[in-house]
Amino acid sequence: MTHTSTATVTGILAEIQIVPVVVLNDPAGANELADALVAGGIPCAEITFRTPAGLEALKALRGRTDLLLGAGTVLNAADVDLAADAGAKFIVSPGFGADVVTRCRERGVTAIPGVATASELQAAVAAGLRHVKFFPAEQAGGLPMLSALSGPFPEVRFMPSGGLRPDNVNAYLDHPAVFAAGGSWMVPRAAIVAGNFQEIARLCAETRSALAEHHRTNKGST
Ligand code: 3PG
CATH number for the region 9-221 comes to 3.20.20.70
Please identify, by atom number, the ligand 1 atom nearest to the C-alpha of residue 164: 11
**Could you tell me if the CB of 153 is within 6 A of ligand 1?**
no
pLDDT bucket at 204, cuts 50 / 70 / 90? very high
Give me the chain's average pLDDT, please.
95
pLDDT bucket at 146, cuts 50 / 70 / 90? very high
On the CB side of 1, how many CA atoms lie within 13 Å of its CA? 18
The residue whose CA has the least distance to atom 3 of ligand 1 is 161
The residue whose CA has the least distance to atom 11 of ligand 1 is 183
Length of the chain: 222
Active site residues: 46, 133
Percent of the chain with pLDDT over 70: 96
Q: State yes or no: pLDDT of 2 exceeds 50.
A: no
pLDDT value, residue 23: 97
Alpha-carbon torsion, ordered 155, 156, 157, 158, to 10 deg:
-160
> What percent of the residues of the chain are helix, what percent strand, and what percent coil, each to the nearest 5?
45, 15, 35
Q: CA–CA separation, 27 vs 211, rounded Å?
A: 30
Residues 6+ apart with CB under 8 A from 11: none
pLDDT value, residue 219: 72
Q: For 162-202, how does the pLDDT look when each residue is reduced to its tens digit (9 = 90+)?
A: 999 999 999 999 999 999 999 999 999 999 999 999 999 99
Q: CA–CA separation, 173 vs 180, rounded Å?
A: 7
Q: For 75-89, how does the pLDDT look when each residue is reduced to its tens digit (9 = 90+)?
A: 999 999 999 999 999
Residue 178 CA to ligand 1 centre (angstroms) = 16
pLDDT value, residue 107: 97
**Could you tell me if the CB of 164 is within 6 A of ligand 1?**
yes
Residue 32: CB atoms within 10 A of its CB come to 15
